[in-house]
Amino acid sequence: MTTGSIRRIGFIGLGAMGLPMAQRLIQAGFTVRSAVHRNQDAGKKFRDSGGILFQSFPEAVQSVDLVLSIVSDDQALDELYGDQAFFKAIPKDTIILEMTSCAPKTLLRIVKRYQKKTKNFVDAPVSGGVSGATNGTLTIFAAGERELLERLDPVFTVLGKTIPLEKIGDGKAVKAVNQMLAAVNMLAVAEAYVLTQKLGLDPERVYQIIKESSGGSYVFTNKFMKVARKDYSGGFKFRLMKKDLGIAVREAKGLRLPILKLADTLYGKFKGQEDMDYSVLATLYDSQLKHNQ
Q: Give the residue numbers marked as catalytic.
A: 175
- Angle in degrees, CA 143, 87, 161, rounded to 5: 25
Separation of alpha carbons 43 and 33, rounded Å: 11
Taking only Cα atoms into account, the Rg of the chain, rounded to an integer number of angstroms, comes to: 20
Separation of alpha carbons 288 and 293, rounded Å: 9
DSSP 279: G
Separation of alpha carbons 122 and 149, rounded Å: 8
How many CA atoms within 13 Å lie on the side-chain side of 143? Answer: 20
CB atoms within 10 A of CB 52: 17
